A = this chain, B = another copy of it.
Amino acid sequence: MLKPDFAKSADGLIPVVVQDYKSGDVLMLAYINKQAWDITLDTQYATYWSRSRNQLWKKGESSGNLQRIIDIYLDCDRDTVLFKVDQIGGAACHTGYKSCFFTKLGVDGVEVIEGQKMFDPDKVYKK
């Protein structure tokens, strides 16, 4: 059974590149441990390990913007994973942008914002 080599990382966390299966856009980078991997396979929706909250994190649990798994790839070293996902709601980033990579390095290091907000985070993440 093909699976990441979690022992390769000191903290048991493996990075996951998350890509929109239709557009090919790279949406975000997240981390999984063995438990998050198992839950993702069982449910076919992406579950990660939140390093800031130190807990399992079903992506989209608060916002509704779940990530349905289309395909899973492992890299040649088995220490990085690629999820191709159907991004529910059309936006992966907690800021409301489609992709977390909405900031481009412009000429002379100037910040260039690309893309547009798909939702208002103040409305989606109600306190």
Q: Contact residues of A with B, CB < 8 Å? A: 1-3, 15, 17, 19, 23-26, 28-29, 71-77, 80, 82, 93-95, 97, 100-106, 108-111, 114
Contact = CB atoms under 8 A, between A and B. Distances in A.
Nearest to A111: B2
Contact of A103 (B2, B26, B94, B104): B2
Given A74-B101, A75-B100, 20 more contacts: A1-B109, A2-B106, A15-B29, A17-B17, A17-B26, A19-B26, A24-B24, A24-B25, A26-B82, A28-B80, A29-B75, A29-B80, A72-B105, A73-B105, A74-B105, A76-B93, A76-B94, A76-B100, A76-B103, A77-B100
